[in-house]
Structure 1
Amino acid sequence: MTGAILKVMILGLVRDRGALAMAFVLPPMIFIIFAAIFSGTSGDEMRLKVAVLDEIGSVETELLIAAIDDEPALRLQQTAFADEQGLRDAVLAGKADVGLILRGQLYGEATEPPVLVIADAGRAMTGPILAGHVQRLVARDLPGVSMRRVAPTIEAMAGGLSPQQKAQLDAAIDAMGQDDSGEASDADSDVALVGVETTAGRGGSVTISYYAGAVAVMFLLFSAMQGAATLIEERTSGIIDRVAIGRAGTDVIVFAKFLFLTLQGLLQVSLIFLVAWLAYDVDIPAHFLAWLATTLFAAAAAAGLALVMASVCASRQQANTISSFLVLVASAVGGSMVPRYMMPPWLQDIGWYTPNAWAIEAYQGALWRGDSLQALLPSFWPLAASAIAGLAGALILSRFRLRLG
């Protein structure tokens, strides 16, 4: 008897393609995504996008920029910045993962580090990572700079060098081919080569605001998928057939469900951000209009996508399986589980095909950077397009199924 029951269960699993996918396709897929993310954080796959402002234009700084461009772990952003504020704005807006300002000679007398790394607080780890790369590249590709920076320390330890010894040291450094000036510095070398500065946003804790948006859009998708699945029950129970007798046909049900799921999502997200505001000081009131617009677009996108998914599926079980599969994959790739800047470039590009990435970007712009509604439009358009395409698809498929029935 046990063997017979086991056989029946195995046959049931084999015949249920959705259950097969959830059991044997989703786990390795999620593993591949997270393996790509976390292996990239310790290797060359992370590839930080670096914005550079060279205020000096010397031979050494040009060589350093060329070394950064050739470094596999870094990507040099080709945008030219007119001033330091432009670079800071680019980093804060997420157009670059981290910024690099070359503001002084790499060796010589200085009261502050000649190289300044600008990191956004939401990606604070990028600052030390780039600083380490710069230190390594200077030591590897600009050995003359390294020698000139330590030359004063060596001279002090040796109790001073004679003019002949200084000339020999200068000649040896010049022979490295990194500098033609031949001028050694007598400055103290205690000033670090690289300084790191973290840029703050305008909306409280960046980590809290990020994950409030990330969690909100993930659960928007989950709840919308569950709510849209009632469309299948109404179709199989004959409710849609009876409503379709009216002049509006099936459209009235689809529109009603779209409005309901959008309003439900608005309330759901409001509760999440209410906790973020009261418990974690995320300043929602100061950016209320931008937050409200972002939430409405995100909720509408989730509702539209959920309805078209429910219109495609033949049973509620199938809809639950497919929706769980899609939401988990979209959340992993789109940044709801792990920030996208930690992902390799190819995975970041895939993430833009999910509503998660656009919604999170919009929430970051609204709450962290304090962007205006106009500045948020590039993030709103993909969400609006998803909502419209999903709603249109659901309407067409519902009419098509009615004619088939």
Structure 2
Amino acid sequence: MIGAVFRIMWLRLWRDKGALVLAFVLPGFIFAVFAAIFSNASGGSLDLRVALGSISDAPAAVSFTQQLSESDVISMTYDETWSAADVIERVRLGQDDVGVIVTGDFSDASSPSIQIIEDPSRTVAATVLKGQIRQMLATTSGVKSTALFNTKSALGADASTTMEDPSVTYYIGATAILFLLFSAMQGAAISIDERRNGISDRLMVGPMGAMGILTGKFVFLTWIGFLQAAIICVVAQVFFEVPILEHLGAVTLACLGTATLASGFALLIASFCNTQAQMHTVSTFAVLLLSAVGGSMVPRFMMPAWLQQMGVATPNYWAIEAFYGVLARGQSVFDLLGVWGILFGGGLLCLALAALMSHKLMRV
């Protein structure tokens, strides 16, 4: 009896080639991604993007600035025409993870000669950068290794003092997109049963065909996702003093855009799956992988450079950029036009592709 049940279940898995691949190939791939992320973070060798500027004419400061710009240890973005404001702006907009400005004469140990520009959501980056610079100072001739550091927030004093913990704003988008993807995947899985039971074939006789069927589901999933994201924002406002109400219009747009992309992506995944088993496995792996690479689980600056580049292609990256841009960086709706284009345009594109795929499957 036991052997017969075992044989039946094995034959089911063997015949479902999609589930078979997902069961035995993806686990190793997921492990490799997570191992790369966490080994890089725990090893202290972060691939930081650092903006470098100098406002000091002292010979030692000029020499050390040049050494920093040519360093093989620290990945510097440097332009000798940059002012302190330019460096701060690059960190504020997320173009670089952290900034460093050479501000004084290294021969004067009584005043800070190096200013670190940090983003409140990436304080670890500032700490790591200080350690790397101290190592360089210790081996640089003509420069005192006791140079004083001064740390400044790239978001300004107002953004740092209105909330108990400014880094909370990062996790609004990170949590919202993670939860919305899981929720939308469950809702989109209904399409598979409808396809297998012939319900979709009967609905296809309607005037809009597959597009009409999926659009109805898309609107519903987007509405539910919007409400779920809004609940997260309410909790952030009430319990963590995040200024949601001060940016209500832009935050509403971020909630709607995140829900749009999550819903469209979930319907697209469902259109490629033939069974509920495949959908469950694919959706779980997809959400975990996208969330890990996109920054929902670990901030992207703690990842290897190649994973940071991959993260830009995930829904999680754009959802985080939307919420963090509005609530932490102080960007306006017009500043984030590119982000809205990805969130809304990407969701609608996924819907169109899902409808095309479903139409072909239902006509077979």
Q: Would the TM-score normalized by the shorter structure come out above 0.5?
A: yes
Q: What displacement does 1:82 show? A: 4.1
Aligned to 1:319: 279
Report the Cα distance in structure 1 between the residues aligned to 2:96 and 2:38, rounded to whole angstroms. Answer: 20
Report the Cα distance in structure 1 between the residues aligned to 2:56 and 2:238, rounded to whole angstroms. Answer: 47
Report the Cα distance in structure 1 between the residues aligned to 2:3 and 2:194, rounded to whole angstroms. Answer: 38
Report the Cα distance in structure 2 between the residues aligned to 1:34 and 1:23, rounded to whole angstroms. Answer: 17
Q: 1:16 to 1:249 in 2, by over 3 A?
A: closer
| Mean Cα deviation higher: 65-74 or 48-57 | 65-74
Aligned to 1:340: 300
TM superposition score normalised by structure 1: 0.82
- Does 2:332 correspond to 1:377? no
Residues 101 and 115 in structure 1, CA contact (< 8 A), matched pair in contact too = yes
Amino acid across the alignment from 1:359: A
Residues 56 and 62 in structure 2, CA contact (< 8 A), matched pair in contact too = no
Residue 227 of structure 2 is aligned with which of 257, 267, 281?
Answer: 267
Residues 305 and 390 in structure 1, CA contact (< 8 A), matched pair in contact too = yes
Aligned to 2:36: 36
Residues 124 and 198 in structure 1, CA contact (< 8 A), matched pair in contact too = no
Q: What displacement does 1:277 show? A: 1.3
Report the Cα distance in structure 2 between the residues aligned to 1:193 and 1:307, rounded to whole angstroms. Answer: 55
In the TM superposition, what whole-angstrom CA distance separates every residue of 1:135-181 from its partner, at most 9, and x where no partner exists? 211221x22223xx7xxxxxxxxxxxxxxxxxxxxxxxxxxxxxxxx
Aligned to 2:200: 240
Aligned to 2:48: 48
Q: What displacement does 1:44 show? A: 7.0
Q: Structure 2 regions of 5+ residues with no counterpart?
A: none
- Does 2:19 correspond to 1:64? no
Give the % identical residues. Answer: 40
Residues 68 and 76 in structure 1, CA contact (< 8 A), matched pair in contact too = yes
Q: 1:245 to 1:34 in 2, by over 3 A?
A: closer
Number of corresponding residues: 359
Report the Cα distance in structure 2 between the residues aligned to 1:235 and 1:241, rounded to whole angstroms. Answer: 7
Amino acid across the alignment from 1:6: F
Q: List aligned pairs for 1:98-137, cutoff 5 A.
A: 98-108=98-108, 111-137=110-136
Report the Cα distance in structure 2 between the residues aligned to 1:81 and 1:211, rounded to whole angstroms. Answer: 35
Report the Cα distance in structure 2 between the residues aligned to 1:258 and 1:383, rounded to whole angstroms. Answer: 14
Q: 1:68 to 1:36 in 2, by over 3 A?
A: farther
Residues 47 and 301 in structure 2, CA contact (< 8 A), matched pair in contact too = no
Residues 131 and 195 in structure 1, CA contact (< 8 A), matched pair in contact too = no
Aligned to 1:197: 152
Q: Does the residue aligned with 1:77 lie in a helix, a strand or coil?
A: strand
Q: What displacement does 1:264 show? A: 0.9
Aligned to 1:145: 143
Residues 52 and 87 in structure 1, CA contact (< 8 A), matched pair in contact too = yes
Q: Does the residue aligned with 1:378 lie in a helix, a strand or coil?
A: helix
Report the Cα distance in structure 2 between the residues aligned to 1:21 and 1:70, rounded to whole angstroms. Answer: 46
Amino acid across the alignment from 1:46: L
Amino acid across the alignment from 1:195: N
Aligned to 1:167: none
Report the Cα distance in structure 2 between the residues aligned to 1:374 and 1:78, rounded to whole angstroms. Answer: 28
| Mean Cα deviation higher: 53-62 or 335-344 | 53-62
Report the Cα distance in structure 2 between the residues aligned to 1:224 and 1:101, rounded to whole angstroms. Answer: 45
Amino acid across the alignment from 1:303: S
Bigger Rg, which one: 1
Q: Does the residue aligned with 2:116 lie in a helix, a strand or coil?
A: strand
Residues 19 and 277 in structure 2, CA contact (< 8 A), matched pair in contact too = no
Amino acid across the alignment from 2:187: G
Q: Structure 1 regions of 5+ residues with no counterpart?
A: 150-190
Q: What displacement does 1:312 show? A: 1.9
Residue 251 of structure 2 is aligned with which of 265, 269, 291?
Answer: 291
Q: 1:30 to 1:195 in 2, by over 3 A?
A: same
Residues 52 and 69 in structure 2, CA contact (< 8 A), matched pair in contact too = no
Q: 1:30 to 1:65 in 2, by over 3 A?
A: farther
Q: 1:397 to 1:255 in 2, by over 3 A?
A: same
Report the Cα distance in structure 2 between the residues aligned to 1:12 and 1:66, rounded to whole angstroms. Answer: 64
Report the Cα distance in structure 2 between the residues aligned to 1:301 and 1:21, rounded to whole angstroms. Answer: 27
Residues 48 and 73 in structure 1, CA contact (< 8 A), matched pair in contact too = no
Amino acid across the alignment from 2:142: G
Amino acid across the alignment from 1:272: I
Q: List aligned pairs for 1:323-402, cutoff 5 A.
A: 323-402=283-362
Report the Cα distance in structure 2 between the residues aligned to 1:15 and 1:206, rounded to whole angstroms. Answer: 51
Residue 308 of structure 1 is aligned with which of 243, 268, 285?
Answer: 268
Runs of 4+ in 1 over 6 A off after TM superposition: none
Report the Cα distance in structure 2 between the residues aligned to 1:81 and 1:227, rounded to whole angstroms. Answer: 53
Amino acid across the alignment from 2:123: A
Q: RMSD over aligned Cα, in angstroms?
A: 2.3
Amino acid across the alignment from 1:144: G
In the TM superposition, what whole-angstrom CA distance separates every residue of 1:321-369 from its partner, at most 9, and x where no partner exists? 2111111110110001001111111110000110101111111101111
Q: What displacement does 1:371 show? A: 1.0
Residues 118 and 126 in structure 2, CA contact (< 8 A), matched pair in contact too = yes
Amino acid across the alignment from 2:28: P
Report the Cα distance in structure 2 between the residues aligned to 1:349 and 1:131, rounded to whole angstroms. Answer: 25
In the TM superposition, what whole-angstrom CA distance separates every residue of 1:14-63 from its partner, at most 9, and x where no partner exists? 44445445543343333322322222235475221111111124443343
Report the Cα distance in structure 2 between the residues aligned to 1:284 and 1:226, rounded to whole angstroms. Answer: 29
Q: 1:239 to 1:6 in 2, by over 3 A?
A: closer
